C-alpha cells in the first residue's frame, strides 16, 4: 500500500473546500488563498477547476490573481530573498545590493532562478532600519550589506544547497 504524501493530503483538502465552498457567493478570494497555500502558487489547472466548480469566469479569476500581490502564478524558489527598498535602505544604496543580487543570480525582482533555488522579491520595509541596507533570505536577516558581502551570502546559500556557481 502506498503512503499518501503531505501534498496529496493538502490537495485533497483543497479539492474538498472547492467542492463545498465553490457554490458560495463571494468564495473566490478564500478559494484562491487556499489554492496558494496548498500549492505555493496558483497553477493554471486550478484556475480551471475553480472556474468549473464556482462558476466564475476564467477572466474574472485572472483579474483577481493579477490585482492582488499576494497571489503568484509561478512557483516560488526554495529560498526567498526579500530586498528592503524602504527609505533607510534606499539612502544606504539598496539599489547596489539589488544589482549585485540580480547580477549574481541572473534574475530580476519577482523572478525565480532557473534552478528553482531563489526567488527575488522587493519589500517596502523589513523593519531593520539601523542595519540598512538589509535583505532577508527565508527567515534570516542580513544587514549592513555591501555588494561583495551580499554575493558572499548568496554563495553560502548556493553551497548549502549544492548549487554550482
Structure confidence by residue, pLDDT tens digits, 119-143: 999 999 999 999 999 999 999 999 9
Place of cell 532562478: 113
- Please give the tally of structural domains in the chain: 2
Q: How far apart are CA 50 and CA 35, in angstroms?
A: 10
Residues 60 and 114 in one domain: no
Residues 84 and 62 in one domain: no
Strand ranges inside 18-164, DSSP E? 79-84, 111-112, 118-123, 135-137, 140-142
Asked whether residue 42 is domain-assigned, the answer is: yes
Asked whether residue 72 is domain-assigned, the answer is: no
Asked whether residue 1 is domain-assigned, the answer is: no
Asked whether residue 73 is domain-assigned, the answer is: no
| Contact yes or no for 82/97 (Cβ under 8 A) | no
Residues 126 and 94 in one domain: yes
pTM of whole model > 0.75?
Answer: no
Q: Which three cell numbers stand for residue 4?
A: 499518501
Q: Where is the domain boundary, 40, 67, 94?
A: 67
Band the pLDDT of 1: cuts 50, 70, 90: very low
Q: Which three cell numbers stand for residue 154?
A: 548568496
Average pLDDT in the chain:
90
- CATH code: domain of residue 106: 3.40.30.10
- Expressed as residue numbers, the domain containing 60 is 6-67
Q: Is the pLDDT of residue 51 over 60?
A: yes
My answer on whether omega of the bond before 71 falls inside 30° of 0, hence cis, is: no
pLDDT value at position 3?
56
Residues 34 and 62 in one domain: yes
Residues 104 and 128 in one domain: yes
Q: How far apart are CA 80 and CA 83, in angstroms?
A: 10
Q: CB neighbours of 7 closer than 8 A, spacing ≥ 6?
A: 38
Report residue 75 CA to chain centroid gap.
7
Residues 93 and 135 in one domain: yes
Amino acid at each position: 500500500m502506498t503512503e499518501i504524501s503531505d501534498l496529496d493530503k493538502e490537495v485533497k483538502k483543497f479539492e474538498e473546500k472547492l467542492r463545498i465552498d465553490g457554490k458560495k457567493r463571494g468564495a473566490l478570494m478564500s478559494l484562491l488563498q487556499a489554492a496558494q497555500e496548498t500549492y505555493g502558487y496558483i497553477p493554471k489547472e486550478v484556475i480551471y477547476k475553480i472556474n468549473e466548480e464556482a462558476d466564475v469566469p476564467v477572466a474574472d479569476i485572472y483579474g483577481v490573481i493579477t490585482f492582488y500581490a499576494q497571489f503568484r502564478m509561478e512557483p516560488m524558489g526554495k529560498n526567498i530573498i526579500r530586498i528592503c527598498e524602504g527609505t533607510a535602505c534606499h539612502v544606504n544604496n539598496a539599489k547596489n545590493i539589488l544589482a549585485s543580487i540580480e547580477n549574481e543570480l541572473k534574475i530580476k525582482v519577482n523572478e525565480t532562478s532557473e534552478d528553482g533555488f531563489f526567488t527575488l522579491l522587493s519589500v517596502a520595509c523589513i523593519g531593520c532600519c539601523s542595519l540598512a541596507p538589509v535583505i532577508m533570505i527565508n527567515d534570516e536577516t542580513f544587514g549592513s550589506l555591501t555588494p561583495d558581502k551580499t554575493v558572499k551570502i548568496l554563495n553560502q546559500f548556493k553551497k548549502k544547497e549544492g548549487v554550482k556557481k
